[in-house]
A and B are shown apart, each in its own frame.
Chain A
């Protein structure tokens, strides 16, 4: 069975500061890992995905995440926060490619607040 833990239901950073959203996973097989973002009243949008091709993954809107097998982590970072980054962020894991029959297993989400 697989699971995802997102540390911190709410994270608040100042505009221009580093964003760090934490995600730890548990999987019995090499995982596929995803970060999704949800803006108010919208669906989940893929930020980035880990496919094992490279441990540092770059996504949209300046976000990136690093897969660390030894720490079973896939933390999301952005060097400089922007007001438009305020949203809900979800980490998800799959033991398949994510597009097949298996559903994704999500974390509880982290609400990112950007202070002016």
Chain B
């Protein structure tokens, strides 16, 4: 069964450093997403990506963050100048596309990357 994969599973970095979190969405999916979950808090939407550009982003997704689809399979989240409060689990998700009317489409999630900023 196809699945979303993410690497690394755990990333430790020093405050101020840049990190790149990697995701391989399901191959025929068109929409890609990043979410994060700070320990003990809600899963929060960061950004969605379609047709090689950002579709929607939340207020969390500021200039510190960027996303890219560098090739036909990978989808990355770059966090520049990391801060302590960026420590969280980051989930990548993908879906087939936009459902019309009541055709609700499922988002498939990866296992997450735990980012620890020291």
Contacts and interface: CB of A to CB of B under 8 A. Distances in A.
Nearest to B55: A101
A103 interface: yes
B45 interface: yes
Interface residues of A, number: 28
B81 interface: no
Given A99-B96, A99-B97, A101-B55, A51 B91 contact: no
A104 B45 contact: yes
Contact of B42 (A32, A46, A97, A107): A107
A40 to B, nearest CB: 10
A108 B42 contact: yes
Contact of A99 (B31, B101, B102): B31
9 contacts: A32-B104, A42-B111, A45-B109, A46-B106, A98-B105, A100-B97, A102-B45, A103-B45, A104-B35
Interface of A: 32, 36, 41-46, 49, 51-53, 90, 92, 96-109
